[in-house]
Structure 1
Amino acid sequence: MTQYFIDFVIVGVLIIGMTALMGVFANGVGEYVFGGSRRLEHIQKTAKTQEGWNRVGGKKISG
């Protein structure tokens, strides 16, 4: 009976993990294939919104 539950947990983790990874890959492929020239639109709009904001907190690690 213990072996059944161990197998059940292993299969469950594999199925959930594969499903999560397939979602990430599908999103990446979709953005790359269907994104066209608007691929960076959200990043650019966020940068424009944050223009002039003061940087707060922590040490400056990058850029």
Structure 2
Amino acid sequence: MAQFFIDFTIVAILVIGITALMGVILNSIGENVFGGRKKRLHTAMSEHVQTGWKMVGGKKASR
């Protein structure tokens, strides 16, 4: 019975880990292959909107 739980735990960890890594890997492949010239469009627009904002949230700056 203990072997079943060990096997179940190992398989669960592998399934969860592979699923998480697949998302990250496929996202980066999609951005690099199909991104074209607009790879940084979203982040560049975000940075443009946030220019001139005051830094808040404590003594340490987050950037």
What runs of 5+ residues in structure 1 fail to find an aligned partner?
Answer: none
Residue ranges of structure 2 left out of the alignment (5+ in a row): none
Alignment of 1:40-51 (within 5 A): 40-51=40-51
**1:1-63 map, 5 Å:** 1-56=1-56, 57-60=58-61
Q: Deviations over 1:1-52 (max 9, x none)?
A: 0110111011111111011101100000000000010000011110111111
Q: What is the TM-score of this pair, normalised by structure 1?
A: 0.87
Structure 1 27/44 Cα, relative in aligned 2: closer, same or farther at 3 Å? same
Distance 1:20 1:61, change over 3 A: closer
Q: TM-score w.r.t. structure 2 length?
A: 0.87
Q: What percentage of aligned pairs have identical amino acids?
A: 50
* Distance (Å, rounded) in 2 between the aligned partners of 1:47 and 1:61: 14
Residue 43 to residue 59, structure 1, CA distance change in 2 (3 Å):
same
Distance 1:61 1:35 in 2: 28
Root mean square deviation, CA, Å: 1.4
